[in-house]
Amino acid sequence: MEIIIMKELLEANDKLAKENRAYFAARHILAVNIMGAPGSGKTTLISALAQELEDIRIGVIEGDIESSIDADNLERQGIRAVQINTCGECHLDAHVIKKGADYLDMSNAIVFIENVGNLICPAEFDLGEAVRLLAASVPEGDDKPFKYVPMFSYIDAVALTKCDLKEAVGFDSKNFLKGLRTLSQAPVFETSLKTGAQVRGVNAVANYLRQKYEELGKL
Ligand SMILES: Nc1nc2c(ncn2[C@@H]2O[C@H](COP(=O)(O)OP(=O)(O)O)[C@@H](O)[C@H]2O)c(=O)[nH]1
Ligand SMILES: [Mg+2]
């Protein structure tokens, strides 16, 4: 019985995700679903990308089980954001994304969706996004692609965040890539965004997204 309920839930979500995809396309919006573990650097990355892509309109749909800390932080930086609280749910779904997008009411924009910090459930819920970007942080360890197979199979690109900590935590890049490449050919962008230190790698992620955004116009 449980299996049937879950299947119905996912089918209903997929239908709404399809509608979201059409909504984003009609408004010339590149929707980017940013997933990753809690604390992997998702908000920090969004903030840095917004600076790097300053010539493009940016909106953010923030997902957390509670609080509006991330949306408040982004708004303080002048980035248009809306907070969604899932009240305990471990992922965002297509239904709440439509609500967030309606609130932002944007067009000709890149809309970042910061998913709930979790390496499992978000990989089951299509949101209608165009790009799935995983923020995988160095301190989580190089073995994560071997352990979280659905997530590492689901994504289009990886931002390997907190690379300034590689040496400190003994991160083995070769092992990380070995695990990832059995599942996906997703490009990997190494970033270091430590507060007060030199920012590295965010321009490559921004260029990747800029290209995706420019490709929208050619469809
Ligand atoms: N050393 C280091 N710390 C980082 C980097 N990126 C983010 N952080 C820190 O990691 C913590 C969690 O970042 P946050 O963006 O809030 O993660 P989120 O929970 O995935 O949104 C914060 O204290 C950030 O300052 C990085 O590249 N290097
Ligand atoms: Mg965050």
Domain residue spans of the chain: 6-216
Give the separation between CA 140 and CA 32, rounded to whole angstroms. Answer: 22
For 120-132, write each residue's pLDDT tens digit.
999 999 999 999 9
**Region 48-67 average pLDDT:** 97
pLDDT bucket at 184, cuts 50 / 70 / 90: very high
- Residue 12 has which token pair? 């209903």
- Mean pLDDT, range 136-160, rounded to an integer: 98
Q: Answer yes or no: are the C-beta atoms of 122 and 91 closer than 8 Å.
A: yes
When pLDDT is cut at 50, 70 and 90, the band that residue 3 belongs to is low
Per-residue model confidence as pLDDT tens digits over 16-43: 999 999 999 999 999 999 999 999 999 9
Atom of ligand 1 nearest to the CA of 193: 27
Looking at all shown ligands, the one closest to residue 60's CA atom is 2
Q: Whose CA is nearest to atom 2 of ligand 1?
A: 194
- How high is the pLDDT of residue 217? 74
- Beta-strand ranges (E) seen in the chain are 29-35, 57-64, 80-85, 109-114, 131-137, 157-161, 188-190
The CA distances from residue 183 to 126, 131, 149, in Å, are: 19, 17, 7
pLDDT of amino acid 33? 98
Identify the CATH assignment for 6-216 out of 3.90.550.10, 3.40.50.300, 3.40.50.2300, 3.30.1330.50.
Answer: 3.40.50.300
Angle of helix 42-52 relative to helix 202-216, nearest 10 degrees, comes to 70
Mean pLDDT of 96-101: 98
Cβ–ligand 1 contact at 165 (below 6 Å):
yes
State if residue 116 touches ligand 1 by the CB under 6 angstroms criterion.
no
Q: How far is CA 118 from the centre of its chain?
A: 11
3-state secondary structure of 158: strand
Does residue 4 register a pLDDT over 90?
Answer: no
